[in-house]
Amino acid sequence: KDSTSDYIEVDELEKVPQSEQKKWEKDQMASAVFKFGAKDATKKDDYELVLEDQIDFIQALQMPGSRDKIKKEPELSEHEKKKLTIEETKKSLPIFPFKDDLMQAVREHQVLIIEGETGSGKTTQIPQYLHEAGFTEDGKKIGCTQPRRVAAMSVAARVAQEMGVKLGNEVGYAIRFEDCTSERTIIKYMTDGTLHREFLSEPDLQSYSVMIIDEAHERTLHTDILFGLVKDIARFRPDLKLLISSATLDAQKFSEFFDEAPIFRIPGRRFPVDIYYTKAPEADYVDACVISVLQIHVTQPLGDVLVFLTGQEEIETCQESLQDRLRRLGSKVRELIILPVYANLPSDMQAKIFDPTPPGARKVVLATNIAETSLTIDNIIYVIDPGFAKQNHFNSRTSMESLMVVPISKASANQRAGRAGRVAAGKCFRLYTAWSYKHELEENTVPEIQRINLGNAVLMLKALGINDLVHFDFLDPPPHETLVLALEQLYALGALNHHGELTKMGRRMAEFPVDPMMAKMLLASEKYKCSEEVVTITAMLSVNSSVFYRPKDKIIHADTARKNFYHLAGDHLSLLNVYNQWKDTDYSLQWCYENFIQYRSMKRARDVREQLVGLMQRVEIEMVSNVSETVDIRKAITAGYFYHIARLSKGGSYKTVKHNQSVTVHPNSALFEELPRWILYHELVFTTKEFMRQVIEIESKWLLEVAPHYYKPKELEDSTNKKMPKTVGRSTRTE
């Protein structure tokens, strides 16, 4: 075996006794520095160039066999040579031969579980088969839920294309704040959250003949609750067909839940995927991804690359770094097309990932775990998996919900690897050690229902008239204490009365497709006569992470531009500033460009705002503006977010009021240098510690005004609201 190869194949691992593992790893680490001899280097110009400035990095990346390959020009793969037409592609999908059997099974059974590997054609083909089989003939629709917005949009676009119709006509999609369907729509893709809301207006799903709960294995909160809801209506709507489709081995569990519904298995077609691990853990996995991509590009035969990152920021960093290095390489290497995909990416950009790669070029897709099972990108031969994903976590002990980057499960890792073997034999590079795969990763991802705040879900269920939540038919019940906390929170927000019944306020809150705290803030704007401002702030918060543009080569300019929008009272008001100034320029693109603002995000904020104004009309709140005073705006925000309050304590750090947990103002905040005594935060993001993102200064006495049942005056003593002098030693880490 080549001693310079630093990825090891999984079989090799099997040969190492477990007890030896740690020691073995340590040794490997010591010997892992790849010695790149001058003799070799002269032979492999391009290769050397890539490695020039990352000698320290090479250790992770020399792949077995790559040395021989460098001499040859990368070849076109078989698959590359024959690009298929749409019709040919449809027929080539693993599901195709089972079309008639599947339709037969649907006719015979009311509920059917469908299991098939990712990419076999479940999402795009089944609704079309159902349509052809006559399930849309009586004017009813076929619905198909997706856990992810991006998937709903892109799959709908694909199916519209396959059927030769305009998106939004016969085939459409509906996601939060966006409805791209019409009277003519017969195949409707939607997020699971959207279907959840549809139950409010159509509790028996009367307009549907078939409902497909797709990507059931993802086990999102909404999907989990939908299981219980659709199971219930199937009982009194015998004509409604239910299909539960899943990519993995949970089928048995779904079958049991749906009273032993039959399972229809679509045999997988998979090419072998070689799995490689790094010998030592990676210090910076984004950088490791960049190097890995370049290594593959220079040393491996053509075939596209899929990289799994955790979010937009990381994807952008990775993209910039790749572009930068490619620029330096110039024409020495083949064309490498870099395509990002994440939830907030505008849909026209998202669509690009499906464009065929031009002959002789290579495509690299930088994706969040959207690409794990929801989206299938053809032609992927190489997968790079750093082993992380972003997840929401709710701690019922501290009542804190926080977004954090966590290691993925083995099940996820295997799904990711599988993406490399769809069209040909592939390779998956795991940027973690074989040891940590074996011993550190959990078997399966914990379903969302067991790890996030249930406020939203409970409010929806209550609005559907489901009062007894403890006995609701859950596939896996949520922890009791989380359920109780959600009820308590809704009570404190005024959405439930002390019998746990929905109040008038709760009913109005349920009209908004947002978190209960946000809904409450919108409703409170009525009392404080600032609905215009609060609606804008809500819209901006819903896109906020992507409003400010911060290109690497212009960071100073971008940060100065951002600071010009800063409002002393805090970030919500800075966001309001951005929106209002943009509006004053008549929504100018040029203005965005000059001020380092993302035009697309602003456009989306404007759309969201419009939707919210419509919903405000529905709950009969007049749109009024209160420009002179920010106190009222901040009071309205506090009326919703009084759970999210932190108080300055000794040494210039913050502690949450109720649970005394340490939290820190995010460095990108307008209040980072200010240290007001009382602050309200919009959300927590955990990186090195709990960062509060989007904060405003408040006065403690407002808490007694907006949440007298939740706060006691004693808890809020020492509310002089004077600013403390700035202290030293705080983190200056920017994420």
State the residues that interact with ligand CDP by CB under 6 A: 93, 116, 118-125, 154-155, 157-158, 354, 376, 378
Select 304 or 674, whichever has its Cβ closest to ligand CDP: 304
Q: Are 630 and 569 in contact (CB under 8 A)?
A: yes
Cα–Cα dist 18/421, whole Å: 29
Cα–Cα dist 637/640, whole Å: 5
| Region for 330 from its dihedrals, namely left if φ exceeds 0, alpha if ψ lies in -120 to 50, beta otherwise | left
Q: What are 190's strand-pairing partners?
A: 145, 174
What is the smallest separation between the CB atom of 354 and ligand CDP, expressed in angstroms? Answer: 4
Structure tokens at 149: 């917005």
* Helix, strand, coil percentages for the chain (3-state, nearest 5): 45, 20, 35
Select 269 or 583, whichever has its Cβ closest to ligand CDP: 269
Select 54 or 414, whichever has its Cβ closest to Mg ion: 414
In which element (H, E) is residue 277 found?
strand 273-278
Q: Are 559 and 617 in contact (CB under 8 A)?
A: no
Select 96 or 686, whichever has its Cβ closest to ligand CDP: 96
Phi and psi for 702 in degrees, rounded to 5? -60, -30
What is the smallest separation between the CB atom of 157 and ligand CDP, expressed in angstroms? Answer: 6
What is the smallest separation between the CB atom of 309 and Mg ion, expressed in angstroms? Answer: 21
Q: Are 546 and 601 in contact (CB under 8 A)?
A: yes
- Chosen from Mg ion, ligand CDP, none, partner binding at 155 (C-beta under 5 to 8 Å by type): ligand CDP
- Chosen from ligand CDP, Mg ion, none, partner binding at 378 (C-beta under 5 to 8 Å by type): ligand CDP
- Chosen from ligand CDP, Mg ion, none, partner binding at 93 (C-beta under 5 to 8 Å by type): ligand CDP
Phi and psi for 682 in degrees, rounded to 5? -80, -45
What is the smallest separation between the CB atom of 214 and Mg ion, expressed in angstroms? Answer: 6
What is the smallest separation between the CB atom of 109 and ligand CDP, expressed in angstroms? Answer: 20
Angle between helices 455-463 and 221-236 (to 10 degrees): 20
Cα–Cα dist 48/174, whole Å: 49
Cα–Cα dist 167/151, whole Å: 14
Cα–Cα dist 585/592, whole Å: 10
Give residue 78's identity as a one-letter amino acid code.
E
Select 16 or 343, whichever has its Cβ closest to ligand CDP: 343
What is the smallest separation between the CB atom of 158 and Mg ion, expressed in angstroms? Answer: 11
What is the smallest separation between the CB atom of 76 and Mg ion, expressed in angstroms? Answer: 28
Select 155 or 318, whichever has its Cβ closest to ligand CDP: 155
Structure tokens at 689: 């510690």
What is the smallest separation between the CB atom of 123 and Mg ion, expressed in angstroms? Answer: 3
End-to-end Cα separation, the chain, in angstroms: 40
Phi and psi for 466 in degrees, rounded to 5? -90, 105
Q: Are 578 and 599 in contact (CB under 8 A)?
A: no
Pick the closest to residue 327 from 544, 49, 602 (CA basis): 49
Select 157 or 336, whichever has its Cβ closest to ligand CDP: 157
What is the smallest separation between the CB atom of 108 and ligand CDP, expressed in angstroms? Answer: 22
What is the smallest separation between the CB atom of 518 and ligand CDP, expressed in angstroms? Answer: 31
Cα–Cα dist 711/445, whole Å: 37
Structure tokens at 228: 């219980």
Range 587-612 burial, b when 16+ CB lie within 10 A, else e: ebeebbeebbbbbbbbbbbbebbebb
Select 116 or 311, whichever has its Cβ closest to ligand CDP: 116
What is the smallest separation between the CB atom of 146 and Mg ion, expressed in angstroms? Answer: 8
- Report the alpha-carbon angle 623-627-629, nearest 5: 115
What is the smallest separation between the CB atom of 437 and ligand CDP, expressed in angstroms? Answer: 24
Select 125 or 433, whichever has its Cβ closest to ligand CDP: 125
Select 271 or 593, whichever has its Cβ closest to ligand CDP: 271
Sheet of 263-266, strand order = 178-180, 171-175, 187-191, 141-146, 208-213, 241-246, 111-116, 263-266
Cα–Cα dist 208/139, whole Å: 9
What is the smallest separation between the CB atom of 140 and Mg ion, expressed in angstroms? Answer: 22
Structure tokens at 362: 């290579």
What is the smallest separation between the CB atom of 351 and ligand CDP, expressed in angstroms? Answer: 8
Select 376 or 630, whichever has its Cβ closest to ligand CDP: 376
What is the smallest separation between the CB atom of 256 and Mg ion, expressed in angstroms? Answer: 22
Nearest-CB residue for Mg ion: 123
- Chosen from ligand CDP, Mg ion, none, partner binding at 96 (C-beta under 5 to 8 Å by type): none
Select 246 or 626, whichever has its Cβ closest to ligand CDP: 246
- Chosen from Mg ion, ligand CDP, none, partner binding at 297 (C-beta under 5 to 8 Å by type): none
- Chosen from Mg ion, ligand CDP, none, partner binding at 124 (C-beta under 5 to 8 Å by type): ligand CDP
Select 154 or 531, whichever has its Cβ closest to ligand CDP: 154
Select 94 or 513, whichever has its Cβ closest to ligand CDP: 94
Select 119 or 494, whichever has its Cβ closest to ligand CDP: 119
Q: What are 385's strand-pairing partners?
A: 430
Pick the closest to residue 233 from 197, 266, 205, 192 (CA basis): 205
Alpha helix ranges (H) inside 358-443: 370-373, 410-418, 434-439
What is the smallest separation between the CB atom of 116 and ligand CDP, expressed in angstroms? Answer: 5
Phi and psi for 174 in degrees, rounded to 5? -135, 125
Cα–Cα dist 357/80, whole Å: 9
Select 226 or 685, whichever has its Cβ closest to ligand CDP: 226
Cα–Cα dist 97/593, whole Å: 52
Cα–Cα dist 624/613, whole Å: 11
Number of CB atoms found within 10 A of residue 260's CB: 10
What is the smallest separation between the CB atom of 296 and Mg ion, expressed in angstroms? Answer: 26
Select 123 or 542, whichever has its Cβ closest to Mg ion: 123
- Chosen from ligand CDP, Mg ion, none, partner binding at 578 (C-beta under 5 to 8 Å by type): none
Q: Are 256 and 411 in contact (CB under 8 A)?
A: no
Pairing relationship of beta strands 653-656 and 645-649 according to DSSP bridges: antiparallel
Question: Which residues here bind Mg ion, judged by CB under 5 A?
Answer: 123
